[in-house]
Structure 1
Amino acid sequence: MLKKYYSLLLFVLGVSLLSGCSEKSNPSFDQQNFASIFDNSKFDASYFPIDMRETPDGGYIVLGGRRLSENSDFAGIYLLKADQYGKFVKEIEVPASTGVYPVGKLMEYQTKYYFFCMDAQTLQAQIANVDALLEAVSVTPVQGDLTYPAAASFANNNFILLSYNNNDKLSVISVLNTDGGILKSKGYDIGVGSDDEIITEKYVIEHYLRTGRQWPFEAGVMANGVYYFNGFYNYTFSLVFTDAASDDPSNVAQGQSDKGGLSGVSYLGANKFALSRFSYGNNYFLPGKDIPGGDPASSDFGGFTLPELVPDAPVKILQAKTDTKNALVYASNTKSKQIGLYFYEQETGTFISSRYLGFSNPYEISSLIQTSDGGLAVCGTTYLAGRFPRICIFKISKDELNGQLSK
């Protein structure tokens, strides 16, 4: 179990939160700029972050997963609360009997923070919520036969859920109300290979078991009411557009089996997206892209190549606003084992600057948000001694963000 906050000097004495030392000591600066690592006395424990949100008190809630016993196929649910200085406040290890396999996004609605998980026995999708103080976790089964949640978002007071139907081998896009009632739902074939061998199912199952690649599933809705999901369809990892009712999608940005597709999807408005893509180990950023009709191939989208990133790197994309500029912030994992931040002008797609987070240990991206004070908060995984996965948070002040966007 995580313990209360200690300084770096006390790390050798037991479990602690590691906090990066700042050059200034006033509370205002410490709140605006910090680096925190949340350690644990159980050295065989494994925690990984999924998403993060700022709370009304200026602190943070992190939705994460944790390794259960060797007899469990799926990750357990883990929630962490940090204060405005990045210090540990509280944690919840949700029992597996309540739910397993949490997926993002962590979505704020009224006074609660929602996410999806599934029943450990039936594999049915569930809506879970927690308050800002981590006082209690509540779980509601989805009303219908939806299993294996993959990704979710929140728009127009409804949840948009991408899930997987293992019986019929379908990627399923659904619209649900906050009580778990299904308003719309439609499944699309993931693809069947020669001799009825289901090639893509292997990649899907390995994702859920965390024994293979973690795929960048996404689900959302455009301003015109068209839904989209980034997932497996017709043999490939593709960006699929649909009304969530018709038998055939209205458009598909096709991938290349498991070798190419979109690694990051952020809707900007109208028909425009901020994207990133992977192709045979290479990575490309596309700060502004109108998706053409006619089932285009994502391999034709072009983009800025990033040779410093790890092969087929995970990418998170954030729309950030300052007093003078609208920007896109891309975050990913570098070959130097740091978290790279890449800043682009939103209107033109022009590259502005880059910044790298991490020191001593390997670091990997999980989530980034813009905070209420105008800065950035970045959540990721670090590996203590190179092998113990732990959650970390970096805070970048508004002034530093403005500086990055003024270069």
Structure 2
Amino acid sequence: MSSSSSPVVVVGITIVVVVVALLSTIGYIAYLHKRNITKRKGNRANPVLHLYDSESRVKHLIDLKQFKDEDKEGIDVPFFDLKDILAATDNFSDSHKLGQGGFGPVYKGKFPDGKEVVVKRLSSASRQGLVEFKNEVVLIAKLQHRNLVRLLGYCIEGEEKILLYEYMPNKSLDSFIFDRMLCVLLNWESRFDIILGIARGLIYLHQDSRLKIIHRDLKTSNILLDGDMNPKISDFGLARIFESKQTEANTNRVVGTFGYMSPEYALDGFFSVKSDAFSFGVVVLEIISGKRNTGFYQSDQAMSLLGYAWRLWKEDKVYDLMDQTLSETCNINEFLRCVNVGLLCVQEDPSDRPTMPNAFLMLSSEIATLPVPQQPAFVVRRGPPSLAPSSSTNPKTSSNNEITDSLEEGR
């Protein structure tokens, strides 16, 4: 071979190698694409198996005792650097602070692109530990509904555990209905829409979401209001996953808030969708009356708000339960349905309470026949029982039950 033909041969060989490599790469990409399509089809062909896969994965992430880098692959929201959060909140300055709760402070943050967020910062002294933190990060990231607050991201660096939520300009429901000045901004139509929105959110959690969730801490301070006064359920740190056929569970560590917990949960640690229904019933009665269940007091009788509503129901005086600011805007038929459904939800026996789909149907239907409620639980108001054992209690005979509170301030 002549020296003049050598470069031509080299160029030819190079072109062949490049073409072969390119074709091999294209073939491998096509193989991977086909395998992914087959895998997705397999998941669709066996949705039950896929669902249990999700439940198992979520429970695994939550139950881990530490937060590893590889765990982030199972989380559907972005990780934020602490330095960016510090800049957005001006180093957690008091001017950005929205509230303070048992787990720590809540701040309003603003990023350079103008996006406003709520920054929930767990303090080192918080009762809400790593499990509760991961519970919110993993669970709420997989829940998408217009009546659930949206998690935008999280941060865990050193001792800092931080959650970032969409900003709710109207803060929490309790900041309106229990304030004698602000309550006038919520007419009957707004309150009834809020009640229906909360019910829709619970139906999604109990029945329509990919994971069956029991919230366990539903209360007016955990209902946030967006700019149009649409309700969004928040705070999923105490929520628990149920398997699709599971109906109830029990725990030795009772967590939640006095006044909203069902009797079977507060006393025996049993919780189910009917526990959330009880909390919903309390919220409904608080919304239409403008009175707190836990702070309700009458000098003539030691009675809870539930007991007061029950007495008015028996005496056919339910209109006396109405918040006086609603007298001019109230739809009487809707009000009566709310009282009826509220009392049905707070009945002592869980089997007597409606499920959330049934509660929503009774609230929204003008022709539905509503059952007559039985006496609610906690009719007589007593001082809060001490469920947490004292240091002097014999550890062998004491209960492990514990009552905790979540944030009472608005976001």
Structure number having the greater helix percentage: 2
With structure 2 as the length reference, what TM-score do the two structures score? 0.26
With structure 1 as the length reference, what TM-score do the two structures score? 0.26
Q: Highest Rg: 1 or 2? A: 2
Structure number having the greater strand percentage: 1
| Higher RCO (CA < 8 A, seq sep 6+) | 2
